[in-house]
Amino acid sequence: MPRCQRHFRCTGSRTISVRHSSWEAPALSNTRHTKVLIIGSGPAGYTAAVYASRAMLEPLLVQGVQPGGQLMITTDVENWPGESNILGPGLMANMEEHARAVGTEVVSDHVQSLDLSCRPFRANGDAGTVYTADTVILATGAQARWLGLASEEAFKGFGVSACATCDGFFFRGQDVVVVGGGNTAVEEALFLTNFATRVTLVHRRDALRADKILQHRLFRHEKIEVLWDHTLDEVLGTEDPKAVEGVRVKHVRTGQVSTVPCKGVFIAIGHTPSNELVKDSLELHSGGYAVTAPDSTATSVPGVFAAGDITDHVYRQAVTSAGMGCMAALEAERFLAEQGRDAEIAAE
Ligand code: FAD
Ligand code: NAP
């Protein structure tokens, strides 16, 4: 049971503190209330923070275990408007500075559990802080799935990537490998033909699960070859300079091992939305992404908004996440204004 359910009884918008014999009330300084609680410090979270701060909502942003989000694990970002070439960590440092400069309180903590059944909403931080909030902007992002190889880890950012849209440009005139057989892998392979000389799609079965239309495009593309029934066993490369030189692949039935020379390796075996906090409280779609209303960031719980990769299985870009962060803050502002009006009418 989430800790706050033990600590508080929720009665609509009122909350009554309940004293149990075995429980001690948290110290006052350990309970923080905010009009807007932003969970996550990627582009969606920081953009929501900038907008909510400028609306004088004094938001509180909890950074999580990956301050700055996914862009912290990449090098060059070349598709953030206004910055033709910036490093991922530099871009995220700028966003954090911007959010702080306009008045966001940025907290180094991780939300362990979130109770959306009570008003105000309640979040428990790892460090023991209880955050109560009139609205929540969920910006917890997603994590690319990886194969889990030591060599894959070693060459991440040095030829191994999980984002062709982001990194494909660096492989102009070179050979690349894509791993996976779903829509993402096929789209990534097709996209990479814009830069690469040759794209080899390595798939562990003899059939793709990607949409037929994408398969059709893939099969007739002269730059793409499919290596069926193979798994990627190891990423091969040099240490100095640190660079990928190829991959070792294995046939799943014969066990025969071979090498595919390449300079880039794109792992496209799916993404996992970071939905742990809301998997039982918000409506999710099949892949576990938070459902939002059309043209909105409103989730199935009024007052809770979702922005960025936690809700987006299609675009998964920094700029689209930031756009959704903006929408979420504007919608939170409207929600609070409506709640205020309702309260005034009720009081009359
Ligand atoms: P994320 O960036 O995923 O951030 C999620 C945040 O939520 C993190 O700060 C995390 O700490 C926090 N969080 C999670 N759970 C909790 C919790 N329980 N409590 C508190 N906080 C929590 N996109 C581009 O546009 N251009 C690129 O060049 C590009 N390069 C990329 C390179 C790589 C290697 C990867 C993996 C992705 C790349 N992307 C790129 C995609 C881009 O990074 C994402 O689309 C974007 O970061 C999503 O932003 P977000 O704010 O939704 O979430
Ligand atoms: P996905 O559909 O889950 O496909 C993942 C692929 O990776 C599968 O082919 C799977 O192989 C393979 N795979 C998984 N784990 C692996 C491992 N450990 N080693 C080797 N291969 C592995 O994921 P996705 O392609 O990212 O798509 C996710 C969702 O987004 C889907 O619903 C998809 O339709 C949607 N999407 C849609 C579009 C679009 O409509 N244009 C674009 C992108 C994504 P098996 O086939 O053998 O299981």
Task: Compute the distance from residue 141 Cα to the ligand 1 centre, in Å.
Answer: 5
Give the max Cα distance, the chain: 79
134 in active site: no
Rounded distance between C-alpha atoms, residue 113 and residue 335, angstroms = 23
At residue 195, the pLDDT reads: 96
pLDDT in tens, 186-226: 999 999 999 999 999 999 999 999 999 999 999 999 999 99
The pLDDT of residue 25 is 43
- Judge contact between 236 and 247, C-beta under 8 A: yes
Alpha carbons 337 and 287: distance in angstroms, whole number: 33
Whole-Å CA distances, 217 to 176, 220, 276, 290: 18, 6, 36, 30
Q: Best substitution site from 187, 313, 315, 316 to test ligand 2's pocket, by max atoms within 8 Å of Cβ?
A: 313
State the Cα–Cα distance between residues 329 and 89, nearest whole angstrom: 24
Crossing angle of the two packed helices 183-192 and 212-219, in degrees rounded to 10: 30
**Residue 151, CA distances (Å) to 178, 231, 243, 320 in order:** 16, 14, 11, 31
The C-alpha R_g of the chain, in whole angstroms, comes to 23
End-to-end CA distance of the chain: 39
State the 10-residue block means of pLDDT for the chain, 348 residues long: 30 30 48 98 98 98 96 84 93 98 98 97 96 98 95 96 91 98 93 97 97 96 98 97 97 98 96 95 92 98 98 93 98 95 81
Percent of the chain with pLDDT over 70: 92
Give the pLDDT of residue 36. 98
Tell me if residue 143 falls in helix, strand or coil.
strand
Please state the atom number of ligand 1 nearest to the C-alpha of residue 310.
52
Give the binding-site residues of ligand 1, using a 6 Å CB cut-off: 39-45, 62-67, 69-71, 73-74, 77, 79, 110-111, 139-142, 144, 161-163, 166, 274, 277, 308-309, 316-319, 321
Say yes or no: CB of residue 230 within 6 Å of ligand 2: no
What's 26's DSSP letter?
A: P
Amino acid at 135: T
Burial of 330 from C-beta contacts in 10 A (0-12 / 13-18 / 19+): middle
Tokens of 135: 């609205």
215-271 tens-digit pLDDT: 999 999 999 999 999 999 999 999 999 999 999 999 999 999 999 999 999 999 988
Q: Which pLDDT value is given to residue 74?
A: 76
Question: What is the average pLDDT score of the chain?
Answer: 90
pLDDT for position 29: 52
